[in-house]
Every structure is written in C-alpha cells, then in structure tokens.
Copies of this chain bind each other. A is one copy, B any other.
Amino acid sequence: MTDKILLEEQDFLNAALSGDNSSRKLLIGKLDQYFDSGSYELIRDFFMRLHPADAAHVLEFFSPEKACAFIKLFKIEDQTKIFNYLPAGFEAKMAKILGRKELAKIVSAMSHDERADLFNRLTPEQQEEILPALAQAEREDIRKLSSYPEDTAGSVMTSDYCALQPDITAKEAIEKLRMEAPDKETIYQSFVINENRQLLGVVSLRELLVASPGVKVKEIMNPKPIFGKAEDEAEDIADTMAKYDLMAMPIINGNDKLVGIVTFDDVHDIIEEEATEDFHKMGSISGHGESITGINFLQVSPWLLIQKRLPWLLALVFVNLLSGAGIAFFEDTIQAVVALVFFLPLLIASGGNAGAQSATLMVRAIATGDVQAKDGLRLLGREVGIAMFLGVGMALAVSFIGIFRAGPEVAVVVALTMMAVVLFGSLVGCLLPFLLTKLKMDPATASAPLITSIADVGGILIYFGIATWILEVHPVV
C-alpha cells in the first residue's frame, strides 16, 4: 500500500515527469509491478488522477506494446483524450499495435481535427482498415479534412464549431450553445452562416450574454470578421490570430462557405513548430521528405537525421572547394610569406561570424514579419554602418596581434583584411535572405553554415589579394 501512496505524491510525480531518472525508473517499476500482478484497478486509478497530457507523457516511458496494454484498461473517452496528447510517432506506433477494431473505437470518439490528423499519420493500409469501421459521417469528415495539404489552414482546422442562424435571438443562441457544448471545440465564438453555409459574421458568447435576450444574433454579430482560407498557410493563420488576439478564426473555402475553424491552442503549436523549422534551417538542417519538427526529438530516427544533414554538408563542400581554389591561386604568396597562414583561420572565421550574425537577425526579422523585402535598401544602409564600426573594432584588436606576431607590414594587411571581411560577411548575411525572399524562396535557406562558407571564399580572396598587393609578392620559382 505504500506504493500507492508514493504514486499519489505530487512531488514524486513532478520529478518523474520533468526528467528525474531515478523517479522515472521507480514509477515505471511500480506500474510494471501492478500490471504483472493484475492490479489493473490501481493502474487505472493512477492514470485517471493525471491530466491527459501527463498521462500521455507517462505512457511514453513504456514500449508502445506496454502502452497499448495500459490504455486498453481505460474507458473509451479517456483513451481518446490521452491519445490526443501522444506525440505523432508514438501515436502511429500504438495505432499499429492496437489493431483495427480498437483503433476505430478511439478514432470515432475523437474530435474532427484530431481524427483527421491521426488519419494522415497512418499508413495507407491502416487507413483502409479502419475506414469501414467508422460511421458514414465520420468517413466523410475524415476525407474532407485530410484532403488538405500539410501545413495549410485546412489541415489544422476543426469542423467542431458552433454555427448559428442570423435570425435567432441571443437567448435562443445561448440555449443552442448550452446544448451543443459537449461536442464542440469551443462555444465561446459562434459563426453565423446563411442557408448556403456562407459566413455572415462572428459572435462571441460574451456578446450574447451581455446583449438583451430578445435581440437578434445578426444585430450583435461582427459582420466583418477576420477569416482565413482553407488553402492559406497554417503559419499565416497563426500569425494573424496572434496579431489580433483571436480565440478562434473561421476558415472558408473557394465558395465562401465556412468549412472549419482554427482555435488558439492550435496557434501555439504552429508558432512553436515554425520557429523550430526556421531554427533548423538556420543550422543547415532541412530537406525534402518526412518532417523532424512536431515529433519529440528523442524519437526521430538516426536515418532521418542523416537524410536531413548529409545533403547540406555535401553541398557546402562545393562552396568550400572555391576556398581551396582561391588558395591555389595565391599559392605563390603563401609560399613566400607562410606567416600569413597563421591569420587565415582568424580572418575568415571573423567574416563568417559577422555574416552569421546579420543573417540570423534578418531571417528571424523576416519570419516574424518585422521586416519585408521592401525594407531591404534601408536595412542595407544600416548594416553597412554597423559593419564598418564592427570592422574597425575588430581590425584594432587584430592589428596588435599582427604587429606582435609578424611585424608592421603584415599587421597592416591583417587589419585591412579584417575590416574588409567583416563588411563583406555582414553584407552577404544581410542581403542573401532578402534576395531569397525576392526569389520567393525561404530566407532561412541563407543558413549560418552557407553564409560562413561564402564568407570564407570571399575572405581568402580578399586576404591574399591585399597581401599580394601590399607585400608586393612576386612569383617564387
């Protein structure tokens, strides 16, 4: 019985959930022990005291097989609630193990958007298997919602919204919402539609409550609501909702018909996923195929990571070969003054670092909408000013080292080069994201490694060019 008391300790549970290994092991041990001894009631009790998000987290501590064994002990509504909080990869694995019948039951109890999400993650065989087990309405709903391409508003919206007729009164509307409350994602925003399901306006429960009971919905609704289209990018929808502080945004199709809504809780996930995606691109991790965002990083397969990383590394080899070519071109200069090689890594790295800084600032400012392609020229001016200042600062720092290490002549070369490479790197880092935006490409493709590599090539040419000129190096034969 002390076991049970332990599992009821909030502190112990918090420790296990927040990654404390010994608490986690203890928790796994206890649950395994209950299961082996057939104490299913205790397991059920334990999970039911948790928020579904935490219950899902605990299930992830186990193998998908064991997690399935546990989840089968719960009521179907509870199974569904917990299922919704499982990370995508784990969810798909469990779906495979649960089998057609169990899965169809869980899927039936899900809300519309979550159902379509899960469906999209199943293999075509699994999809074929469970479809017949669903009701007609559910099948159509899945087909509709899962037909929108990934990352569009259509793919994240839900069709569990409250629709109102324009001519009913506020009192009637509230009564209707009260009835529909259990099945709807939100009752706090209602969407007013005509007989063709075209969107006429939006009204909040707050407005309905405050209005005098007899007033008609159409008189208090906002007749010009902010809406999105099903084919819009989910990211843009999230940005708009964040900008206007919207709790829910209506989504219409090509015929102006209301097809779904996106709610505030989807917005968090979209914003976070987008930020992760940009972050990864900035580190030269991207590529076609399966996404590694939106999955718990611990569960991403090594093979998938290799697929995301190797193409970029190989592509950058070619940019860096240009650096080699630059060096080959100046081989005479190097042979004559080998001391120059001492400063080579420092100089080209500084240009690359300054470039990575400005690219990082630009890419993020474009992503958050602070900066548009049109602002390019203005920002370029500012960047030139900043880079000149940074370049002079850096040149002063290295000229001391230069004098000390290789005499005043080399020091001049090094200082001039430093100014030039910091300016060059900063300009590349500032301009490339804009250029990519203009070409309708993702600005985050101007990743730090790419900028660094370009700055390397430029840095080598600048360095040895200045050195050859100032030191008046002549070919050695």
Contacts and interface: CB of A to CB of B under 8 A. Distances in A.
A314 B341 CA distance: 20
A375 B24 CA distance: 12
A379 interface: yes
A19 interface: yes
Total copies of the chain: 2
B448 A302 contact: no
Interface in A354-369: 354, 356-357, 359-361, 363-365, 368
A297 B371 contact: yes
Interface string A310-350: 10111011001101100110010011001001111110111
A327 B344 contact: yes
Interface residues of A, number: 111
A275 interface: yes
B276 A364 contact: yes
A398 interface: yes
A244 B53 contact: yes
Contacts of A18: 372
Interface in A158-201: 174, 177-178, 181-182, 187-188
A386 interface: yes
A370 B268 contact: no
Interface of A: 18-21, 51, 53, 174, 177-178, 181-182, 187-188, 205-206, 209-210, 226, 238, 241-245, 247, 264-265, 267-269, 271-272, 275-276, 278-280, 282-285, 296-298, 302, 305-306, 309-310, 312-314, 316-317, 320-321, 323-324, 327-328, 331, 334-335, 338, 341-346, 348-350, 352-354, 356-357, 359-361, 363-365, 368, 370-375, 378-379, 382, 385-386, 389-390, 393-394, 397-398, 401, 405, 422, 448-449, 452-453, 456, 460
